[in-house]
């Protein structure tokens, strides 16, 4: 598996480790949803006075 150096640096910065077993590894997709954003969106659901920015 060949991963661009920039992607490797981003993963390291985010504290993400990628393990590939065997000789043929496929990077299909990696989707990261930060916990803070999830918590903010969840809190917005309960706040009747907040404006949602899209």
Q: Each residue of 1-52: pLDDT tens digit?
A: 456 778 778 878 888 776 666 555 555 555 556 677 777 777 777 777 766 5
Shortest CA distance to 30 belongs to which of 5, 51, 10?
Answer: 10
pLDDT of residue 28: 52
Cβ contact 32:16 at 8 Å: yes
Name the token pair of 49. 């006075």
The two three-digit tokens of residue 43, written as one number: 């809190």
What is the pLDDT at residue 50? 67
pLDDT of residue 54: 44
Q: Which among 7, 51, 54, 4 is positioned nearest to 32, based on CA atoms? A: 7
């Amino acid at each position: 598996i060949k991963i661009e150096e920039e992607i490797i640096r981003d993963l390291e910065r985010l504290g993400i480790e990628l393990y590939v077993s065997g000789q043929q590894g496929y990077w299909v997709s990696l989707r990261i949803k930060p916990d803070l954003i999830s918590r903010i969106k969840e809190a917005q659901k309960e706040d009747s006075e907040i404006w949602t920015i899209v």
